Amino acid sequence: MPDKLNITVMLGGPSAEREVSLRTGAAVANALRSLGHEVTEVDPKPGQWRLPEKTDVVFLALHGTYGEDGAIQKELDALGVPYTGCDAEASRIAFDKVLTKQRCVEAGVPTARFTVYENATAPWPRGWQPPVVLKPVCQGSSVGLQFVERVSDFADSLAEALRYDARVLVEEKITGRETTVGILDGKALPVVEVRPKQGAYDYRNKYTAGATEYFCPAPFDEATIARIQQAALDAFRAIGGRDYARVDVMVRPEGEPMVLEVNTLPGMTETSLLPKAAAAAGLSYPELCQRMVDLALRRKPTGSSLRSAATILSASLMPFLLS
């Protein structure tokens, strides 16, 4: 058994993905308690949360804004307490689909052609042919995702996507097989293939029981698997990732991988895709949670404590964060 730790699981939060985050956080908290840790759950809202003073490490089970966007990471950095997952800057980049795409392009990571729209009356992109995919730039869990098969549907779909963000990524729709790759401690886990029974892998198919089939390890030949995993690792490195993430990758019929996005705080219910991939690699769900904690603890400050960090902070930056 691992040494007993005081772990704060942050879950819920104010984003559109609150309900998913609550499920993730509850599953993580139960797993960590099963390992003998003392676990406190904190549902943070900006300026209204307190971190237990004896916290050894924070497990981030948040999704969406004020979770994956780097905001909570900045506040925890100021406290000097280690937390799971990517740092504030990598989180900020990955949460912004445009920044992620730009980093991928700069690093030579294969990704679909894209443009950005901010105006609901903007015309169809010149020189493009349908189909295209519309994604709010800073949302997760397929929130606001739109698939456009005909030019005549573009205006309505753009207006709908703009309900969720001031900017919308318009992306060439890649035809092929949908996969996702978990990254853990700098290594790619077995590839998961995602097959919705009807339509696309949108919010409904993602969170409706039985609506989607998952295959792990994905049924590709070894060379294609290696290409998919390498593309995912390259994207993870391009955004400056650390510890773990999940990278979504489309695979063209000829086997070419195309990176869609990087999820720095992926779903962590026991049936989520990253735990599925970890299980295929021989890691149980509690073992995966413990590994994530261990990676964060590597960054625990030496010769200092959370209490001393809190004292400095409360005198200057954020007195509301700690009791």
What pLDDT sits at residue 137?
Answer: 92
pLDDT digits (tens, 9 = 90+) for 178-219: 999 999 999 999 999 999 887 665 556 565 667 789 999 999
Alpha carbon distances (Å) from 208 to 196, 202, 203, 212: 10, 10, 8, 8
- The domains of the chain are located at 6-84+299-314, 92-110+175-264, 114-172
In CATH terms, the superfamily for domain 114-172 is ATP-grasp fold, A domain (3.30.1490.20)
What pLDDT sits at residue 314?
Answer: 37
The DSSP annotation for 52-110 comes to -TT-SEEEE---STTTTSSHHHHHHHHHT--BSS--HHHHHHHHSHHHHHHHHHHHT--
Q: What's the predicted TM-score (pTM) here?
A: 0.87
- Which of the residues in the chain have pLDDT under 70? 1, 141, 199-209, 302-323
What pLDDT sits at residue 36?
Answer: 97
CATH number belonging to the domain at 92-110+175-264, selected among 3.80.30.20, 3.40.50.1100, 3.40.50.300, 3.30.470.20: 3.30.470.20
Dihedral, CA of residue 239, residue 240, residue 243 and residue 247, to nearest 10: 20
Q: Enumerate the β-bridge partners of residue 120.
A: none
d(Cα 11, Cα 61) in Å, to the nearest integer? 5
Q: Catalytic residue positions?
A: 17, 141, 207, 246, 248, 261, 263, 267
What pLDDT sits at residue 201?
Answer: 58
What pLDDT sits at residue 278?
Answer: 97
Domain 6-84+299-314 has CATH 3.40.250.10: no
Q: Which residue type is seen at 92?
A: R
- Say if CB 94 and CB 264 are below 8 A apart: yes
What pLDDT sits at residue 306?
Answer: 45
What pLDDT sits at residue 204?
Answer: 63
